[in-house]
Chain A
Amino acid sequence: MGALLVLLPLLGVVLLNLPLGKLAEKLALPLGGVLCLAQAAVILAAPASFWDQALFLPGGVSVAELFHASFPVDSLARVMFLSIATVGFCSGLVAKYTMADEQTQFRFANLLILALAGLNGIILVRDLLGLYVFLEITAVASFVLIALERGKAAFDGAFKYLVLSAVATAMIVAGLALLFIVAGSTSFDAVAEALKTSGSSQLALAAVAFFLCGLAIKAGLVPFHGWLPTAYASAPSAVSVLLAGIVTKTSGVYTLIRLVDAVFGYGPAVRQVLLVGGLVSIVVGALGALGQKDMKRMLAFSSISQMGYVVLGLGAGPGLGLAGAIFHLFNHSIFKTLLFVNSAAVEQQSGTRDMDKLGGISAKMPVTGTTSVLAMLSTAGIPPLSGFWSKLLIVAGVWQAGHPAFSAAAVIASVLTLAYFLSMQRRVFFGKVADSCAGLKEASAWGLVPALLLAAITVGLGVTAPWLFQTFLLDVGSIL
Protein backbone atom coordinates (compact mmCIF):
# COMPACT_ATOMS: atom_id res chain seq x y z
CA MET A 1 0.00 0.00 0.00
CA GLY A 2 2.95 2.29 0.60
CA ALA A 3 3.91 2.21 -3.07
CA LEU A 4 0.87 4.40 -3.75
CA LEU A 5 2.73 7.32 -2.27
CA VAL A 6 5.23 7.15 -5.11
CA LEU A 7 2.95 6.00 -7.90
CA LEU A 8 0.19 8.55 -7.38
CA PRO A 9 2.46 11.58 -7.71
CA LEU A 10 3.98 10.06 -10.85
CA LEU A 11 0.48 9.61 -12.24
CA GLY A 12 -0.29 13.18 -11.29
CA VAL A 13 2.66 14.53 -13.23
CA VAL A 14 1.77 12.44 -16.26
CA LEU A 15 -1.79 13.76 -16.15
CA LEU A 16 -0.66 17.35 -15.80
CA ASN A 17 1.47 17.08 -18.88
CA LEU A 18 -1.15 15.71 -21.20
CA PRO A 19 -2.06 18.27 -23.85
CA LEU A 20 -4.86 20.02 -21.99
CA GLY A 21 -3.79 23.55 -22.72
CA LYS A 22 -4.60 26.24 -20.19
CA LEU A 23 -6.56 23.85 -18.02
CA ALA A 24 -3.37 22.02 -17.04
CA GLU A 25 -1.73 25.26 -15.88
CA LYS A 26 -4.64 26.06 -13.61
CA LEU A 27 -4.85 22.56 -12.18
CA ALA A 28 -1.18 22.15 -11.36
CA LEU A 29 -0.85 23.75 -7.92
CA PRO A 30 -4.25 22.53 -6.70
CA LEU A 31 -3.30 18.99 -7.71
CA GLY A 32 -0.12 19.29 -5.68
CA GLY A 33 -2.10 20.55 -2.72
CA VAL A 34 -4.63 17.75 -3.01
CA LEU A 35 -1.90 15.09 -3.13
CA CYS A 36 -0.28 16.49 0.01
CA LEU A 37 -3.57 16.79 1.87
CA ALA A 38 -4.55 13.27 0.88
CA GLN A 39 -1.23 11.97 2.14
CA ALA A 40 -1.62 13.73 5.47
CA ALA A 41 -5.21 12.58 5.82
CA VAL A 42 -4.36 8.96 5.15
CA ILE A 43 -1.50 9.00 7.63
CA LEU A 44 -3.63 10.50 10.36
CA ALA A 45 -6.74 8.47 9.76
CA ALA A 46 -5.63 5.04 8.69
CA PRO A 47 -4.69 2.42 11.30
CA ALA A 48 -1.26 0.81 11.12
CA SER A 49 -2.67 -2.31 9.52
CA PHE A 50 -3.80 -0.29 6.52
CA TRP A 51 -0.25 -0.12 5.31
CA ASP A 52 0.26 -3.83 5.38
CA GLN A 53 -2.51 -4.47 2.95
CA ALA A 54 -1.52 -5.35 -0.53
CA LEU A 55 -2.28 -2.92 -3.25
CA PHE A 56 -3.85 -4.43 -6.31
CA LEU A 57 -3.39 -2.89 -9.70
CA PRO A 58 -5.92 -3.32 -12.48
CA GLY A 59 -5.27 -6.79 -13.78
CA GLY A 60 -5.22 -8.43 -10.41
CA VAL A 61 -1.51 -8.35 -9.77
CA SER A 62 -0.37 -6.98 -6.45
CA VAL A 63 2.26 -4.27 -6.23
CA ALA A 64 4.40 -6.40 -3.99
CA GLU A 65 4.55 -9.07 -6.68
CA LEU A 66 5.09 -6.48 -9.38
CA PHE A 67 8.11 -4.98 -7.70
CA HIS A 68 9.46 -8.10 -6.03
CA ALA A 69 9.71 -6.05 -2.88
CA SER A 70 7.60 -5.09 0.06
CA PHE A 71 7.32 -1.60 1.40
CA PRO A 72 6.83 -1.83 5.14
CA VAL A 73 5.64 1.34 6.78
CA ASP A 74 6.64 1.70 10.43
CA SER A 75 6.11 4.52 12.90
CA LEU A 76 9.16 6.48 11.80
CA ALA A 77 7.97 6.26 8.20
CA ARG A 78 4.53 7.54 9.15
CA VAL A 79 6.01 10.50 11.03
CA MET A 80 8.12 11.36 7.99
CA PHE A 81 5.21 11.00 5.58
CA LEU A 82 3.19 13.39 7.69
CA SER A 83 6.03 15.95 7.73
CA ILE A 84 6.47 15.65 3.99
CA ALA A 85 2.78 16.17 3.35
CA THR A 86 2.51 19.15 5.70
CA VAL A 87 5.58 20.93 4.40
CA GLY A 88 4.67 20.20 0.78
CA PHE A 89 1.21 21.64 1.30
CA CYS A 90 2.56 24.82 2.91
CA SER A 91 5.14 25.17 0.18
CA GLY A 92 2.38 25.02 -2.43
CA LEU A 93 0.44 27.75 -0.64
CA VAL A 94 3.51 29.97 -0.41
CA ALA A 95 4.12 29.42 -4.13
CA LYS A 96 0.62 30.58 -4.90
CA TYR A 97 1.32 33.66 -2.84
CA THR A 98 4.79 34.59 -4.05
CA MET A 99 5.13 33.39 -7.60
CA ALA A 100 3.91 35.87 -10.12
CA ASP A 101 2.93 34.12 -13.30
CA GLU A 102 1.08 30.91 -13.93
CA GLN A 103 3.79 29.33 -16.03
CA THR A 104 6.26 29.46 -13.14
CA GLN A 105 3.58 28.09 -10.85
CA PHE A 106 2.94 25.25 -13.26
CA ARG A 107 6.61 24.29 -13.39
CA PHE A 108 6.90 24.63 -9.63
CA ALA A 109 3.90 22.40 -9.10
CA ASN A 110 5.24 19.69 -11.39
CA LEU A 111 8.63 19.73 -9.72
CA LEU A 112 6.97 19.77 -6.30
CA ILE A 113 4.97 16.67 -7.13
CA LEU A 114 8.08 14.95 -8.52
CA ALA A 115 10.01 15.89 -5.38
CA LEU A 116 7.10 14.50 -3.37
CA ALA A 117 7.48 11.19 -5.19
CA GLY A 118 11.22 11.26 -4.55
CA LEU A 119 10.84 12.04 -0.85
CA ASN A 120 8.21 9.39 -0.32
CA GLY A 121 10.42 6.94 -2.18
CA ILE A 122 13.35 7.62 0.14
CA ILE A 123 11.16 6.65 3.07
CA LEU A 124 9.69 3.58 1.43
CA VAL A 125 12.75 1.73 0.14
CA ARG A 126 14.50 -1.06 1.94
CA ASP A 127 17.40 -1.32 -0.45
CA LEU A 128 20.57 0.73 -0.82
CA LEU A 129 20.38 1.35 -4.54
CA GLY A 130 16.69 2.20 -4.36
CA LEU A 131 17.72 4.71 -1.71
CA TYR A 132 20.30 6.18 -4.07
CA VAL A 133 17.74 6.43 -6.88
CA PHE A 134 15.24 8.40 -4.84
CA LEU A 135 17.93 10.53 -3.21
CA GLU A 136 19.06 11.59 -6.68
CA ILE A 137 15.51 12.31 -7.81
CA THR A 138 14.96 14.56 -4.82
CA ALA A 139 18.34 16.23 -5.25
CA VAL A 140 17.99 17.00 -8.95
CA ALA A 141 14.41 18.23 -8.48
CA SER A 142 15.81 20.53 -5.78
CA PHE A 143 18.50 21.96 -8.04
CA VAL A 144 15.95 22.82 -10.65
CA LEU A 145 13.61 24.30 -8.04
CA ILE A 146 16.36 26.51 -6.62
CA ALA A 147 17.09 27.86 -10.08
CA LEU A 148 13.41 28.15 -10.97
CA GLU A 149 13.22 31.92 -11.19
CA ARG A 150 16.66 32.11 -12.78
CA GLY A 151 18.13 34.85 -10.65
CA LYS A 152 21.90 35.23 -10.42
CA ALA A 153 22.09 34.35 -6.73
CA ALA A 154 19.82 31.39 -7.37
CA PHE A 155 22.27 29.94 -9.87
CA ASP A 156 25.06 30.35 -7.33
CA GLY A 157 23.06 28.50 -4.71
CA ALA A 158 22.00 25.80 -7.15
CA PHE A 159 25.56 25.27 -8.37
CA LYS A 160 27.08 25.02 -4.90
CA TYR A 161 24.36 22.62 -3.84
CA LEU A 162 24.76 20.45 -6.88
CA VAL A 163 28.52 20.14 -6.62
CA LEU A 164 28.39 19.07 -3.01
CA SER A 165 25.44 16.82 -3.69
CA ALA A 166 27.43 15.10 -6.45
CA VAL A 167 30.35 14.51 -4.08
CA ALA A 168 27.96 13.19 -1.44
CA THR A 169 26.31 10.89 -3.96
CA ALA A 170 29.68 9.58 -5.13
CA MET A 171 30.59 8.75 -1.54
CA ILE A 172 27.28 7.06 -0.91
CA VAL A 173 27.55 4.86 -4.00
CA ALA A 174 31.20 4.09 -3.17
CA GLY A 175 30.02 2.88 0.24
CA LEU A 176 27.28 0.93 -1.48
CA ALA A 177 29.77 -0.81 -3.78
CA LEU A 178 31.99 -1.77 -0.84
CA LEU A 179 29.02 -3.09 1.08
CA PHE A 180 28.04 -5.08 -1.99
CA ILE A 181 31.45 -6.73 -1.91
CA VAL A 182 30.93 -7.58 1.73
CA ALA A 183 27.34 -8.74 1.52
CA GLY A 184 26.63 -9.69 -2.06
CA SER A 185 23.39 -7.73 -2.03
CA THR A 186 22.12 -4.23 -1.49
CA SER A 187 19.01 -4.84 0.55
CA PHE A 188 19.04 -3.51 4.11
CA ASP A 189 18.45 -6.89 5.71
CA ALA A 190 21.14 -8.70 3.76
CA VAL A 191 23.72 -6.01 4.45
CA ALA A 192 22.82 -5.85 8.14
CA GLU A 193 23.27 -9.62 8.38
CA ALA A 194 26.63 -9.50 6.66
CA LEU A 195 27.82 -6.62 8.84
CA LYS A 196 27.11 -8.67 11.93
CA THR A 197 29.77 -11.18 10.95
CA SER A 198 32.17 -9.07 8.88
CA GLY A 199 31.51 -5.79 10.65
CA SER A 200 35.08 -5.04 11.57
CA SER A 201 36.69 -5.80 8.22
CA GLN A 202 38.48 -2.90 6.57
CA LEU A 203 36.08 -2.88 3.67
CA ALA A 204 33.07 -2.59 5.94
CA LEU A 205 34.63 0.18 8.00
CA ALA A 206 35.60 2.10 4.89
CA ALA A 207 32.09 1.66 3.53
CA VAL A 208 30.45 2.97 6.71
CA ALA A 209 32.86 5.90 6.80
CA PHE A 210 32.01 6.81 3.19
CA PHE A 211 28.31 6.59 3.94
CA LEU A 212 28.57 8.79 7.01
CA CYS A 213 30.53 11.43 5.10
CA GLY A 214 28.12 11.41 2.19
CA LEU A 215 25.08 11.65 4.45
CA ALA A 216 26.67 14.40 6.53
CA ILE A 217 27.10 16.45 3.36
CA LYS A 218 23.46 15.87 2.41
CA ALA A 219 22.24 16.75 5.89
CA GLY A 220 24.29 19.92 6.02
CA LEU A 221 26.16 18.90 9.15
CA VAL A 222 29.39 20.63 10.06
CA PRO A 223 31.98 20.61 8.46
CA PHE A 224 30.08 19.93 5.26
CA HIS A 225 27.54 22.68 5.65
CA GLY A 226 29.04 25.24 3.26
CA TRP A 227 26.36 24.91 0.63
CA LEU A 228 23.38 25.22 2.92
CA PRO A 229 23.07 28.93 3.78
CA THR A 230 23.60 30.02 0.18
CA ALA A 231 21.17 27.48 -1.21
CA TYR A 232 18.42 28.27 1.31
CA ALA A 233 18.78 32.02 1.01
CA SER A 234 18.97 32.31 -2.76
CA ALA A 235 16.12 29.99 -3.61
CA PRO A 236 12.63 31.33 -4.23
CA SER A 237 10.64 31.50 -1.01
CA ALA A 238 8.43 28.50 -1.69
CA VAL A 239 11.53 26.45 -2.47
CA SER A 240 13.32 27.56 0.71
CA VAL A 241 10.29 26.35 2.62
CA LEU A 242 10.56 22.98 0.92
CA LEU A 243 14.33 22.69 1.31
CA ALA A 244 14.50 23.71 4.93
CA GLY A 245 11.33 22.01 5.92
CA ILE A 246 11.81 18.59 4.49
CA VAL A 247 14.34 17.96 1.73
CA THR A 248 17.53 18.29 3.75
CA LYS A 249 15.92 16.42 6.60
CA THR A 250 14.80 13.46 4.56
CA SER A 251 17.83 13.14 2.31
CA GLY A 252 20.33 13.53 5.08
CA VAL A 253 19.08 13.09 8.58
CA TYR A 254 16.27 10.57 8.07
CA THR A 255 18.53 8.42 5.88
CA LEU A 256 21.19 8.58 8.59
CA ILE A 257 18.72 7.46 11.23
CA ARG A 258 17.36 4.65 9.09
CA LEU A 259 20.78 3.35 8.06
CA VAL A 260 22.31 3.51 11.53
CA ASP A 261 19.31 1.79 12.96
CA ALA A 262 18.61 -0.86 10.34
CA VAL A 263 21.98 -1.47 8.74
CA PHE A 264 25.06 -0.25 10.56
CA GLY A 265 23.95 -0.78 14.09
CA TYR A 266 24.74 1.35 17.15
CA GLY A 267 28.39 0.41 17.48
CA PRO A 268 30.58 2.49 19.80
CA ALA A 269 32.58 4.07 16.97
CA VAL A 270 29.43 5.13 15.11
CA ARG A 271 27.90 6.53 18.28
CA GLN A 272 30.99 8.55 19.09
CA VAL A 273 31.06 10.06 15.62
CA LEU A 274 27.37 10.96 15.87
CA LEU A 275 27.67 12.51 19.31
CA VAL A 276 30.68 14.62 18.44
CA GLY A 277 29.38 15.56 15.00
CA GLY A 278 26.02 16.50 16.46
CA LEU A 279 27.50 18.72 19.13
CA VAL A 280 29.82 20.48 16.70
CA SER A 281 26.89 21.19 14.40
CA ILE A 282 24.84 22.56 17.27
CA VAL A 283 27.54 24.98 18.32
CA VAL A 284 28.78 26.08 14.91
CA GLY A 285 25.24 26.53 13.65
CA ALA A 286 24.27 28.63 16.65
CA LEU A 287 27.38 30.81 16.39
CA GLY A 288 26.93 31.19 12.65
CA ALA A 289 23.39 32.40 13.06
CA LEU A 290 24.43 35.19 15.40
CA GLY A 291 26.28 37.18 12.79
CA GLN A 292 23.78 37.13 9.95
CA LYS A 293 21.95 40.07 8.45
CA ASP A 294 19.94 38.20 5.86
CA MET A 295 16.93 36.62 7.51
CA LYS A 296 17.01 33.46 5.46
CA ARG A 297 20.73 32.88 6.03
CA MET A 298 20.16 33.18 9.75
CA LEU A 299 17.37 30.63 9.57
CA ALA A 300 19.64 28.36 7.53
CA PHE A 301 22.34 28.38 10.22
CA SER A 302 19.68 27.75 12.81
CA SER A 303 18.61 24.67 10.85
CA ILE A 304 22.17 23.37 10.90
CA SER A 305 22.17 23.77 14.64
CA GLN A 306 18.85 22.01 15.15
CA MET A 307 19.86 19.08 12.96
CA GLY A 308 22.86 18.77 15.26
CA TYR A 309 20.39 18.10 18.08
CA VAL A 310 18.77 15.31 16.10
CA VAL A 311 22.13 13.68 15.36
CA LEU A 312 23.08 14.04 19.02
CA GLY A 313 19.89 12.25 20.00
CA LEU A 314 20.61 9.52 17.48
CA GLY A 315 24.06 9.08 18.99
CA ALA A 316 22.46 8.33 22.31
CA GLY A 317 20.98 5.20 20.87
CA PRO A 318 17.53 3.64 20.97
CA GLY A 319 15.21 4.72 23.70
CA LEU A 320 14.77 8.28 24.91
CA GLY A 321 17.49 9.69 22.69
CA LEU A 322 16.12 8.24 19.49
CA ALA A 323 12.53 9.12 20.39
CA GLY A 324 13.59 12.68 21.09
CA ALA A 325 15.54 12.84 17.85
CA ILE A 326 12.58 11.74 15.74
CA PHE A 327 10.19 14.02 17.59
CA HIS A 328 12.59 16.93 17.12
CA LEU A 329 12.85 16.10 13.43
CA PHE A 330 9.09 16.41 13.10
CA ASN A 331 8.87 19.51 15.27
CA HIS A 332 11.64 21.21 13.37
CA SER A 333 9.95 20.54 10.08
CA ILE A 334 6.91 22.33 11.49
CA PHE A 335 8.43 25.37 13.16
CA LYS A 336 11.25 25.95 10.68
CA THR A 337 8.72 25.83 7.84
CA LEU A 338 6.64 28.35 9.77
CA LEU A 339 9.63 30.68 10.07
CA PHE A 340 10.38 30.43 6.37
CA VAL A 341 6.73 30.98 5.46
CA ASN A 342 6.74 34.14 7.54
CA SER A 343 10.03 35.32 6.11
CA ALA A 344 8.49 34.83 2.68
CA ALA A 345 5.55 36.97 3.77
CA VAL A 346 7.84 39.68 5.11
CA GLU A 347 9.94 39.62 1.96
CA GLN A 348 6.91 39.72 -0.28
CA GLN A 349 5.35 42.63 1.54
CA SER A 350 8.43 44.70 2.30
CA GLY A 351 10.74 43.71 -0.55
CA THR A 352 13.79 43.01 1.57
CA ARG A 353 15.33 40.33 3.75
CA ASP A 354 17.92 42.56 5.34
CA MET A 355 17.24 42.58 9.05
CA ASP A 356 18.99 45.89 9.54
CA LYS A 357 16.39 47.55 7.38
CA LEU A 358 13.35 45.96 8.97
CA GLY A 359 11.82 46.96 12.24
CA GLY A 360 8.59 46.91 14.16
CA ILE A 361 6.81 44.67 11.72
CA SER A 362 4.49 43.25 14.30
CA ALA A 363 2.53 46.45 14.40
CA LYS A 364 1.71 46.17 10.72
CA MET A 365 1.60 42.39 10.29
CA PRO A 366 0.20 41.04 13.55
CA VAL A 367 -0.47 37.46 12.48
CA THR A 368 2.98 37.06 10.96
CA GLY A 369 4.57 38.56 14.03
CA THR A 370 2.76 36.40 16.55
CA THR A 371 3.27 33.13 14.70
CA SER A 372 6.95 33.94 14.25
CA VAL A 373 7.33 34.53 17.95
CA LEU A 374 5.74 31.16 18.65
CA ALA A 375 8.04 29.43 16.18
CA MET A 376 11.14 31.06 17.62
CA LEU A 377 10.21 30.17 21.17
CA SER A 378 9.66 26.60 20.07
CA THR A 379 13.06 26.48 18.37
CA ALA A 380 14.72 27.79 21.48
CA GLY A 381 13.01 25.12 23.54
CA ILE A 382 10.69 27.15 25.72
CA PRO A 383 7.88 25.25 27.42
CA PRO A 384 5.10 24.48 26.78
CA LEU A 385 5.84 24.50 23.05
CA SER A 386 6.75 21.39 21.11
CA GLY A 387 10.44 22.20 20.76
CA PHE A 388 10.88 22.12 24.53
CA TRP A 389 9.70 18.53 24.83
CA SER A 390 11.79 17.16 22.00
CA LYS A 391 14.94 18.89 23.24
CA LEU A 392 14.23 17.64 26.76
CA LEU A 393 13.98 14.09 25.48
CA ILE A 394 17.24 14.40 23.59
CA VAL A 395 19.12 15.89 26.53
CA ALA A 396 17.68 13.26 28.87
CA GLY A 397 18.51 10.49 26.43
CA VAL A 398 22.10 11.60 26.03
CA TRP A 399 22.49 11.90 29.81
CA GLN A 400 21.03 8.47 30.32
CA ALA A 401 23.38 6.99 27.73
CA GLY A 402 26.28 8.12 29.85
CA HIS A 403 27.48 11.36 28.29
CA PRO A 404 26.61 14.11 30.76
CA ALA A 405 29.12 16.53 29.27
CA PHE A 406 27.38 16.39 25.92
CA SER A 407 24.01 16.96 27.58
CA ALA A 408 25.28 20.02 29.39
CA ALA A 409 26.84 21.43 26.24
CA ALA A 410 23.59 20.94 24.36
CA VAL A 411 21.66 22.84 27.02
CA ILE A 412 24.15 25.72 26.93
CA ALA A 413 23.87 25.88 23.16
CA SER A 414 20.12 26.06 23.59
CA VAL A 415 20.58 29.23 25.57
CA LEU A 416 22.66 30.61 22.69
CA THR A 417 19.78 29.77 20.36
CA LEU A 418 17.46 31.72 22.58
CA ALA A 419 19.84 34.66 22.48
CA TYR A 420 19.95 35.02 18.74
CA PHE A 421 16.29 34.51 18.25
CA LEU A 422 15.35 37.05 20.90
CA SER A 423 17.64 39.60 19.33
CA MET A 424 16.19 39.01 15.89
CA GLN A 425 12.67 39.18 17.23
CA ARG A 426 13.23 42.44 18.96
CA ARG A 427 14.87 44.00 15.96
CA VAL A 428 12.63 42.83 13.20
CA PHE A 429 9.23 42.37 14.73
CA PHE A 430 9.00 44.61 17.75
CA GLY A 431 10.55 47.91 18.47
CA LYS A 432 10.17 51.04 16.42
CA VAL A 433 8.59 50.77 13.02
CA ALA A 434 11.40 51.34 10.53
CA ASP A 435 10.95 53.92 7.78
CA SER A 436 10.90 51.36 5.04
CA CYS A 437 8.14 49.48 6.83
CA ALA A 438 5.72 52.32 7.21
CA GLY A 439 3.39 51.18 4.46
CA LEU A 440 3.36 47.45 5.17
CA LYS A 441 0.20 45.45 4.99
CA GLU A 442 -0.49 42.02 6.37
CA ALA A 443 0.13 39.10 4.05
CA SER A 444 -2.71 37.78 1.95
CA ALA A 445 -4.71 34.73 2.93
CA TRP A 446 -2.49 32.40 0.93
CA GLY A 447 0.41 33.40 3.11
CA LEU A 448 -1.50 33.37 6.37
CA VAL A 449 -3.18 29.97 6.15
CA PRO A 450 0.06 27.96 6.30
CA ALA A 451 1.39 30.17 9.08
CA LEU A 452 -1.70 29.67 11.23
CA LEU A 453 -1.82 25.95 10.52
CA LEU A 454 1.81 25.42 11.46
CA ALA A 455 1.58 27.58 14.56
CA ALA A 456 -1.46 25.60 15.68
CA ILE A 457 0.46 22.36 15.29
CA THR A 458 3.43 23.70 17.26
CA VAL A 459 1.30 24.86 20.14
CA GLY A 460 -0.99 21.85 20.02
CA LEU A 461 1.85 19.36 20.06
CA GLY A 462 3.55 21.21 22.85
CA VAL A 463 0.51 21.23 25.05
CA THR A 464 -0.44 17.61 24.44
CA ALA A 465 3.12 16.24 24.50
CA PRO A 466 3.12 14.77 28.00
CA TRP A 467 0.06 12.76 27.11
CA LEU A 468 1.51 11.77 23.74
CA PHE A 469 4.65 10.58 25.45
CA GLN A 470 3.13 7.44 26.78
CA THR A 471 1.12 6.48 23.77
CA PHE A 472 3.25 7.46 20.83
CA LEU A 473 6.77 8.50 21.61
CA LEU A 474 8.08 5.55 23.53
CA ASP A 475 6.66 3.46 20.77
CA VAL A 476 8.65 5.39 18.17
CA GLY A 477 11.79 5.24 20.25
CA SER A 478 11.86 1.51 20.35
CA ILE A 479 10.21 0.41 17.18
CA LEU A 480 13.04 0.47 14.84
Chain B
Amino acid sequence: MNNFWIENFRLVIITAALLFTVGLYCILVTRNMIRVLIGMELLTKAVTLLLVLAGAVTGRMAMAQALIITLIVMEVVAITVAAGVVVGAFRHTGNVSTESLDEAKG
Protein backbone atom coordinates (compact mmCIF):
# COMPACT_ATOMS: atom_id res chain seq x y z
CA MET B 1 0.00 0.00 0.00
CA ASN B 2 2.74 2.31 1.02
CA ASN B 3 4.71 1.56 -2.13
CA PHE B 4 1.71 2.04 -4.39
CA TRP B 5 1.41 5.60 -3.22
CA ILE B 6 5.12 6.25 -3.44
CA GLU B 7 5.03 5.22 -7.07
CA ASN B 8 1.85 7.13 -7.87
CA PHE B 9 3.02 10.12 -5.92
CA ARG B 10 2.80 12.57 -8.78
CA LEU B 11 -0.79 11.72 -9.58
CA VAL B 12 -1.97 12.87 -6.20
CA ILE B 13 0.24 15.95 -6.25
CA ILE B 14 -1.18 16.88 -9.64
CA THR B 15 -4.75 16.36 -8.47
CA ALA B 16 -4.14 18.49 -5.40
CA ALA B 17 -2.42 21.17 -7.46
CA LEU B 18 -5.32 21.26 -9.93
CA LEU B 19 -7.86 21.52 -7.13
CA PHE B 20 -5.83 24.38 -5.69
CA THR B 21 -5.75 26.10 -9.07
CA VAL B 22 -9.49 25.75 -9.59
CA GLY B 23 -10.16 27.13 -6.12
CA LEU B 24 -7.79 30.06 -6.57
CA TYR B 25 -9.20 30.85 -10.02
CA CYS B 26 -12.69 30.77 -8.58
CA ILE B 27 -11.77 33.26 -5.84
CA LEU B 28 -10.07 35.62 -8.28
CA VAL B 29 -12.70 35.64 -10.97
CA THR B 30 -16.09 35.48 -9.32
CA ARG B 31 -18.26 38.42 -8.32
CA ASN B 32 -20.47 36.48 -5.99
CA MET B 33 -19.30 36.39 -2.39
CA ILE B 34 -20.74 32.95 -1.77
CA ARG B 35 -18.81 31.58 -4.72
CA VAL B 36 -15.69 33.01 -3.14
CA LEU B 37 -16.46 30.86 -0.11
CA ILE B 38 -16.78 27.84 -2.37
CA GLY B 39 -13.36 28.61 -3.80
CA MET B 40 -11.98 28.79 -0.27
CA GLU B 41 -13.46 25.38 0.46
CA LEU B 42 -11.82 23.91 -2.64
CA LEU B 43 -8.47 25.24 -1.43
CA THR B 44 -9.03 23.45 1.85
CA LYS B 45 -9.82 20.21 0.03
CA ALA B 46 -6.65 20.46 -2.01
CA VAL B 47 -4.62 20.87 1.13
CA THR B 48 -6.44 18.00 2.86
CA LEU B 49 -5.53 15.77 -0.05
CA LEU B 50 -1.89 16.77 0.31
CA LEU B 51 -1.98 15.82 3.97
CA VAL B 52 -3.47 12.41 3.17
CA LEU B 53 -0.74 11.88 0.61
CA ALA B 54 1.85 12.82 3.21
CA GLY B 55 0.47 10.21 5.57
CA ALA B 56 0.28 7.51 2.91
CA VAL B 57 3.79 8.10 1.63
CA THR B 58 5.58 8.31 4.96
CA GLY B 59 3.60 5.57 6.63
CA ARG B 60 2.57 7.89 9.44
CA MET B 61 -1.11 7.77 8.69
CA ALA B 62 -2.19 8.11 12.32
CA MET B 63 -0.46 11.44 12.71
CA ALA B 64 -1.69 12.64 9.33
CA GLN B 65 -5.27 11.75 10.17
CA ALA B 66 -5.03 13.60 13.47
CA LEU B 67 -3.77 16.64 11.55
CA ILE B 68 -6.60 16.35 9.04
CA ILE B 69 -9.25 16.09 11.73
CA THR B 70 -7.91 19.21 13.43
CA LEU B 71 -7.78 21.00 10.07
CA ILE B 72 -11.39 20.10 9.28
CA VAL B 73 -12.66 21.37 12.63
CA MET B 74 -10.78 24.67 12.32
CA GLU B 75 -11.98 25.19 8.76
CA VAL B 76 -15.62 24.55 9.62
CA VAL B 77 -15.57 27.35 12.18
CA ALA B 78 -13.72 29.62 9.77
CA ILE B 79 -16.19 29.05 6.93
CA THR B 80 -19.16 29.55 9.26
CA VAL B 81 -17.80 32.93 10.38
CA ALA B 82 -17.11 33.79 6.74
CA ALA B 83 -20.72 32.95 5.87
CA GLY B 84 -21.75 35.24 8.72
CA VAL B 85 -19.75 38.09 7.22
CA VAL B 86 -21.42 37.48 3.85
CA VAL B 87 -24.88 37.51 5.41
CA GLY B 88 -24.02 40.68 7.31
CA ALA B 89 -22.83 42.37 4.13
CA PHE B 90 -26.01 41.25 2.38
CA ARG B 91 -28.12 42.90 5.06
CA HIS B 92 -26.45 46.20 4.21
CA THR B 93 -26.38 46.12 0.45
CA GLY B 94 -29.17 43.73 -0.52
CA ASN B 95 -26.95 41.60 -2.72
CA VAL B 96 -23.90 39.43 -2.49
CA SER B 97 -21.82 41.10 -5.14
CA THR B 98 -18.19 41.70 -4.28
CA GLU B 99 -18.28 45.00 -6.11
CA SER B 100 -21.03 46.68 -4.17
CA LEU B 101 -18.92 46.77 -1.04
CA ASP B 102 -16.06 48.72 -2.54
CA GLU B 103 -16.07 52.17 -1.03
CA ALA B 104 -14.15 55.04 -2.52
CA LYS B 105 -10.57 54.09 -2.13
CA GLY B 106 -8.02 56.56 -0.87
Residues of A within 8 A of B (CB): 129, 132-133, 136, 139-140, 143-144, 147, 150, 152-153, 155-156, 158-159, 162-163, 166-167, 169-170, 173-174, 176-178, 180-181, 184-186, 229-230, 233, 291-294, 297
Task: Determine the interface band of chain B, counting residues with CB < 8 A from chain A.
Answer: 35 or more
Q: Cβ of A155 and Cβ of B106 under 8 Å apart?
A: no
Q: Are B50 and A177 in contact (CB under 8 A)?
A: yes
Q: Provide a sorted-by-A list of 6 A–B residue pairs whose CB atoms are within 8 angstroms.
A: A143-B81, A155-B101, A167-B24, A167-B40, A170-B40, A177-B51
Task: Please pick, from B43, B54, B88, the residue contacting A167 in the complex, using a CB distance under 8 A.
Answer: B43
Q: Are A152 and B92 in contact (CB under 8 A)?
A: yes
**Contact in complex: B64, A156 (CB < 8 Å):** no
| A166 / chain B contacts, CB cutoff of 8 Å | 40, 43, 78, 82
Q: Does B18 contact A (CB under 8 A)?
A: no
Q: Which of B47, B64, B103 has the most CB of A within 10 A?
A: B47
Contacts of A133 in B (CB 8 A): 70, 74
Nearest A-chain residue to B9, judged by Cβ = A181
In the complex the two chains form, is A181's CB within 8 Å of B53's CB? yes
List chain A residues, Cβ under 8 A from B98: 159
Apart from A155-B85, A167-B24, 9 more pairs, CB < 8 Å: A159-B98, A162-B78, A167-B43, A170-B47, A180-B54, A180-B64, A181-B57, A186-B67, A293-B106
Query: Is there contact, CB below 8 Å, between A170 and B81?
Result: no
- Once the chains bind, are B50 and A184 in contact (CB under 8 Å)? no
CA distance A441 to B50 in the complex (A): 58
Is B106 in contact with A129, judged by CB distance below 8 angstroms? no
| Chain B minimum-CB-distance residue to A296 | B106
Task: List residues of B (66-106) whose CB comes within 8 Å of A's CBs.
Answer: 67, 70-71, 74, 77-78, 81-82, 84-86, 88-89, 92-93, 98, 101-103, 105-106
B45's closest neighbor in chain A, by CB? Answer: A170
B47 proximity list for chain A (CB < 8 A): 170, 173-174, 177
Residues on A with C-beta less than 8 A from B63 are: 185-186
